[in-house]
A and B are shown apart, each in its own frame.
Chain A
């Protein structure tokens, strides 16, 4: 039907106008956009590959990694030799010069001790490579030295875990398509799009997010704690916000529950004070453990420890059996939110420091962007000319529709705050291709119907009707493909799918409905007896 009522025309034009208006800020400079009312500040963000962004170089200390590894080994040796029927008594374990050494009290047990320590020093792989060498010195001292191969492997796997954790954290922040790469042995490059201050990012990546719950040692002598000395089985930790006075507190070494046993963390507010805090939820085992320890220690305080610092040490008022807990510690909203993100994405296996911070240009290179832009303009002009030469007036209508379509897609992307990257541009090209194709389908159908002898109005009506079915069909399949890619894909696949899905919705509307309004307006005005198509 070629007759549109005024209302129908208004209903078709209104969403297009809204879309175009929302696209406008993307073309304006920052300073102008800032002056616009908030609902007009809808801009398409350009991805790292197209516009560049911030660059951070993070470095993990290999010494720190080696130290931690040695500390783990020390713990393992201690537990192993204390385990079971045949306890082997040993002296203090020294960890000087990057190796462990200790005396076995009874020299006759040295061989037995070595036998039991050996399995701990085996590498994880099947290569038979040792991670540590075990030797006996002076017939009673055992020395455990890390091998170079072992250190290399440990660093490698630690960095892999760290890269994944960092990727998760940045994804949780909502940043689209960052670049995360390992550089050299112990560094990680993080690049995020946009030129805003990367402070939030630095804060987020700067914390290890190692969360532990430990019981406070009530037996400790406050004056000794102030000097940093703790009773056996306890340790003194910094507690900067201690309401009792000294910025230190003694806690039992044994970990009640750790951050590895939680399934979720969310920023929440305290119901009484309305202060921001973080609510965590433990997994089954963690929840049971937490319930058990809190039931046994009612009215005693426990410490919530983050990265070796005590955040708070509340009293256990009643057993906490629900499997969730709240961490308070005079946070700001951003701070609590960052902690929640960090806890959700897991702790970093090692601490990182930011060694370099810069703004970087587009990942594709500024020259390619310029060339790509020129080429795109030429391509658009060539296609528009081709359409005009092939379909005359109708070709122009299709060109107007495509131009509006591009603006509306940008407008919708602006409203959604989506990021445009090169894969997104590929999605754009495909959408525009199918939009042009929709018009080609309609016009070829009209030509066909004319050849079959129908009159002008009938041909146009029939052309639109028959072609619409095909276009609908093709776009539904596109939407299925796009939907699956959006749900499962990541990175470039996702960037492509977002633009594709937006484009499907807008291009059917512009290429079919909108051109029909234009064509019907023309037919009603001029009542042509023949059409040039």
Chain B
């Protein structure tokens, strides 16, 4: 059997020479993303801002997906459904219209009621009420703080273990990925709910992994080819790891593709965010973090000097699993 190879052997693509164009594009997209996030804002879901709660009683047991489809056709926002007590009762949560106060809320309830009665004869709304968000402001602040500090922690690790340039470039690249994801949600106005936070965390995690793999290869090659200039060295490293990059991102996209097609309505935003994040994260490994290393003046010679001085980098290197950790 012939095995699948997505990237032919000895591929040599000149990634680095495109970096100025890529920088321009990155900058433009980032500005766009940040601008959109501030200008349009995120379409925060019921989890965050609260909304309407409707309790619907059906004459017989009902499938939640049918209810969800009925409400999705009304354009009153993303609904969140929960079976409530018995299979005949469903609790529907809907976002509140931004303007219009109580009148608008009643209008939404009436619209939903009409559509539901048409679809499920005999359904009654036993009550409706407003509900607050599921998360308090404090919780959101803590979450944001935790993620920011996690990114900073990784940058500091990279800096202490190797050169400061790796710390800075990793930090910038991951922040870029997060901003792009937020921008995507602002521009599409897809609902940003509690689960999207998990998606953003996954994107950060994937992006870290990707950067570490390429950075590690760059460092390996810096030791191997001390006379090579930085641009060729990065091109070499990116090309050497390209089969792995393509393979891994393909694998993950394959898995996410299945979730996107078959995972149902609720997981769609979650999956879309992750797919975008994988693409952005892979892109930023090459064109944000690696390219930034050149701009920040990293070269095999500076690294060599540091190693000779026996700084933290050299110490850390000796502690790594490279020597002697084999069973």
Interface of A toward B, CB cutoff 8 Å? 1, 4, 8, 49, 52, 55, 163-164, 167, 179-184, 187, 189, 358-368, 370-372, 374-376, 378-380, 382-383, 386-387, 389-392, 422-423, 426-427, 429-430, 433-434, 436-437, 440-441, 444, 447-448, 451, 465-466, 468-470, 472-474, 476-478, 480-482, 484-485, 487-493, 495-497, 500, 513, 532-533
Contact = CB atoms under 8 A, between A and B. Distances in A.
A183 B252 contact: no
Given A181-B132, A378-B258, A533-B3, A469 B9 contact: no
A480 B204 CA distance: 13
A451 B9 contact: yes
Contacts of A52: 82-83
Contacts of B247: 390, 440, 444
Contacts of A497: 201
Contact of B198 (A182, A423, A481, A487): A423
Contact of B65 (A167, A367, A375, A484): A367
Contacts of A383: 251, 254-255
Contact of B132 (A183, A485, A495): A183
Contact of B3 (A372, A391, A430): A391
- Binding site secondary structure of chain B: helix
A474 B82 contact: no
Interface stretch (B21-29, B108-116, B145-153, B178-186): B145-153
B81 interface: yes
A468 B255 CA distance: 25
Given A181-B132, A434-B206, 4 more contacts: A181-B131, A372-B263, A433-B209, A513-B327
Interface of B: 1, 3-6, 9-10, 50, 53, 63-65, 68, 80-85, 91, 129-136, 138-139, 142-143, 145-147, 149-151, 153-154, 157-158, 194-195, 197-199, 201-202, 204-206, 208-209, 212-213, 215-217, 220, 240-241, 243-244, 247-248, 250-252, 254-259, 261-267, 270, 274, 320-322, 325-327
A470 B212 contact: yes
A170 B326 CA distance: 47
B136 A367 contact: no
B63 A367 contact: yes
A375 B258 CA distance: 6
19 contacts: A55-B84, A180-B134, A181-B132, A363-B80, A368-B267, A371-B264, A379-B256, A386-B250, A390-B4, A390-B247, A392-B3, A437-B251, A470-B217, A481-B204, A484-B149, A484-B153, A489-B142, A489-B143, A493-B143
Contacts of A180: 134
Contacts of B266: 364-365, 368, 372
Contact of A485 (B4, B147, B252, B263): B147
A379 B259 contact: yes
Contacts of B270: 422, 426
Given A366-B64, A436-B251, A533-B3, A371 B267 contact: yes
- 6 closest residue pairs by CB, A with B: A361-B83, A371-B264, A367-B65, A423-B198, A182-B132, A489-B146
Given A489-B142, A492-B143, A365 B132 contact: no
B4 A367 contact: no
